[in-house]
Structure 1
């Protein structure tokens, strides 16, 4: 499964919020973008999606910025990917996503379905705390390592 750059950035944004020292202090979008070396306009767009999903809350006024709505150990990587990739991402074929379906399966459909189910299960148990606070997960320097 190849993830989009939006998913890579989305995970980076969520990691930045999880690693924020004071959970009561919202973090500005430009601060997240600068600290992670991400495009500010892309970070703002992703934060809007994450806010609409309920994973992130935005605050206005003097303490303007973004914060997680729950602790990092209650947010899964799967939840983040469902926001950035779409909720049907785990139901699409890895091999021929535009041509394969349940109604018209490809030759590798069965293998792909089993693989998708396993990946979905693992991403559903891997939490933001695991990758942001405990150091589990992967290297963050290159989206292809995700």
Structure 2
């Protein structure tokens, strides 16, 4: 089951790659990330543009160019990334996509999803990019297909 969009999935994986490989503060080539994670270069570039506009990433051109985090990875939560890419209403939408789903007119999954998304929201707020980078670099968890 997928809850996050492809753009969000790719963005998070790419940022984790950067953090696991160099802490995220040094420039990393988008081409390298694209190749290593088997993500379309153009799709990844568009996703990075959103993160750049939100001031999570900075980019530079030239032979040593690439993208880097604007802040330490420990200061960037998963929640911040998700809200940039998915939108501020990500946790307010119905899992079934029904308009006006809520306590007054709930869908059949409303109560179950409400409980789960509250727990997910807390986890995303308290998990940093640094936490995820450690899981890849030290715990050898995977981010590639």
1:97 aligns with 2:97: yes
* Root mean square deviation, CA, Å: 2.4
Q: Is the 8 A contact 1:93 1:113 kept in 2?
A: no
1:140 aligns with 2:143: yes
Provide the residue aligned with 1:30 in structure 2.
Answer: 31
The alpha-carbon deviation at position 25 of structure 1 amounts to 3.4
Q: How does 1:25-104 map to 2 (within 5 A)?
A: 25-94=26-95, 96-102=96-102, 104=105
Q: Distance in 2 between matches of 1:39 and 1:141?
A: 13
Provide the residue aligned with 1:4 in structure 2.
Answer: 5
Count of aligned pairs between the two proteins: 141
Q: Which runs of 5+ in 2 are unaligned?
A: none
SS, match of residue 67 in structure 1: strand
Structure 1 ranges of 4+ moved more than 3 A: 22-25, 60-63
Question: Residues 68 and 24 (structure 1 numbering): CA distance in 2 closer, same or farther, change over 3 Å?
Answer: closer
The alpha-carbon deviation at position 133 of structure 1 amounts to 2.1
TM-score with structure 1 setting the length: 0.81
The alpha-carbon deviation at position 14 of structure 1 amounts to 0.6
Q: Is the 8 A contact 1:100 1:106 kept in 2?
A: no
Provide the residue aligned with 2:128 in structure 1.
Answer: 127
The alpha-carbon deviation at position 47 of structure 1 amounts to 0.7
TM-score with structure 2 setting the length: 0.82
Question: Residues 4 and 104 (structure 1 numbering): CA distance in 2 closer, same or farther, change over 3 Å?
Answer: same
Q: Distance in 2 between matches of 1:128 and 1:22?
A: 9
Q: Distance in 2 between matches of 1:71 and 1:38?
A: 24
Provide the residue aligned with 1:16 in structure 2.
Answer: 17
The alpha-carbon deviation at position 45 of structure 1 amounts to 0.7
Question: Residues 100 and 111 (structure 1 numbering): CA distance in 2 closer, same or farther, change over 3 Å?
Answer: farther
Q: Which runs of 5+ in 1 are unaligned?
A: none
The alpha-carbon deviation at position 100 of structure 1 amounts to 4.7
